[in-house]
Amino acid sequence: MKNDPVILTDPRAPDPGGLPTGAAASDLLQETWRQMLDAGQVASLAQSLAGVTGPAQRALALGALDRALQPQRRESPVLGGWVFCLPLLVVAAGTPGTSLPGELPDPGRLVRLLGDAGAAAPGAAVSLAPALCAPGWNDAAMLLDLHQCARALEQGAPPTVPALAPAPILLSGEGEEVHLRYLVGLALTPRAAPSVLETAANVARWGMSLGQEVAAQLATQGVTTLVLPRPPQGPMIGTQSGEIARAEIGLQLFVSAALRHYRGATGEPEVTVASLRGGAIGLCLYSVFDREPPRIHRRELAATEDFQEAARSLLDLLQECRVEQPRIVSGVLSEEELVAAGPRPH
């Protein structure tokens, strides 16, 4: 399967033709975003972001916005500032209706762990907000608050993260669930030292210890929790990275559970894969010997995600799980059409 062509169709809106790309376009966008932030034009910023369509153009625009958010510190030859978010994948299982806290009681403990693991440069001052932020936390108003904090860093203030809305994690009780949350931080580092985005890029150095600490601070009776951190990035691209990671983990959990069910009950299921309306790749598993309805999963696509990489990753996962010949359907379907494209139920 690894050598088969991916015939799936990207269900998202395509990149508009004729728009500039490359470094010059990115620099121009960065300056445009910075001017909007400096002027406090929240509505204009939100409208401009909403008007950017297509994965490549979104990636260009969001990367430029991340750079526009970073403090300049032009007057300081020795210090540099950084605004970042750190995605957390929280895999949890427990009684339906149980919730995990939306805030960490001791975010300073995480900062010390990052320093001990070398994920922050010597001499760096790092601040993490206690709130676990839900997807969508980085709206235009919050970006303006972050920009104002970055401006304070430029003027010599210590790194202080703005107030953020905590998002508790509510469990549905349907086995293991994957939830996405973000920690938001500011860092002040020596100018000659690498940024926190560089020093923390290797998550293998600090991810396990930080994940265990977050899980300990979220500990709730009757709930098992595994926390998988991702490397910190700018607020916009980091949010996209978190969404991609959540989609991948969610897909793995679905495939594992569905195959375990069918193989233990009726044998190998029929597997159908197709692009779905609304920006997802659909996966349908069904056995004509099983009385249950087909099991369907939407593998959502992040706005900036490379479609071919996402499709290839899905097909590779199926191969690793010994699914020999999935039925791949071209076109963009509804979920009902995805089910109809597979074997007909009794």
Domain locations in the chain as residue ranges: 74-233, 250-341
State the pLDDT at residue 5.
Answer: 46
pLDDT range class, residue 262, cuts 50, 70, 90: very high
pLDDT in tens, 216-243: 999 999 999 999 999 999 999 999 999 9
Does the pLDDT value for residue 2 go beyond 50? no
Please answer whether residues 326 and 6 qualify as being in contact, where contact means their C-beta atoms are separated by less than 8 angstroms: no
What pLDDT score does 19 carry?
Answer: 63
Query: What's the rounded Cα separation, in Å, for the pair 84 and 76?
Result: 20
- Flag whether the pTM goes above 0.95: no
C-alpha neighbours within 13 Å on the C-beta side of residue 210: 31
d(C-alpha 202, C-alpha 176), whole Å? 27
227 near 212, Cβ under 8 Å?
Answer: yes
Q: For residues 177 and 66, what is the distance between their CA atoms, to the nearest angstrom? A: 30
Question: For residues 154 and 109, which has the higher predicted lDDT (pLDDT)?
Answer: 109
SS3 call for 202: coil
Confidence at residue 3, expressed as pLDDT on a 0 to 100 scale = 41
Q: Which two tokens stand for residue 187?
A: 């860092």
How confident is the prediction for the chain on average, in pLDDT?
Answer: 90
pLDDT at 77: 53
Over residues 255-259, the mean pLDDT reads 96
